[in-house]
Amino acid sequence: RSGVLHRDVKPANIRLTAGGRVVLYDFGLARLTGEAALTNAGDLLGTPQYMAPERIRGQWPLAASDVYGVGACLHFMLTGEPPFGEA
């Protein structure tokens, strides 16, 4: 809804505030949806252990790619491991 692709959702970029709010940090790789790309198709930017399969295949990131990263973080919270192990 915000029109921002984070592109590096991972546990290290998620914090819990003193008030109990979950906050996503580190927007260094983020871009606006529809914004002209500054990287080439196929460039891997982000953390592979939490990256959506389409990103690993070199496709352009979508909002669903960030949702996959959230799911991968939830998996890490429950198991202590990234979904497919360390890179």
pLDDT along the chain (87 residues), means of 10: 86 96 92 67 79 89 92 96 79
Report d(CA 87, CA 75) in Å as an integer: 16
Token pair 């990103």: residue: 55
**8 counts as catalytic:** yes
| Pair of tokens at residue 73 | 């973080």
pTM for this model (two decimals)? 0.81
Q: Quick one: 76 exposed, middle or buried, by C-beta within 10 A (0-12, 13-18, 19+)?
A: middle
What pLDDT does residue 35 have? 65
Query: Of the residues 8, 26, 43, 66, which is catalytic?
Result: 8
Q: CATH homologous superfamily for 4-32+39-79? A: Transferase(Phosphotransferase) domain 1 (1.10.510.10)
Q: Where exactly are the structural domains of the chain? A: 4-32+39-79
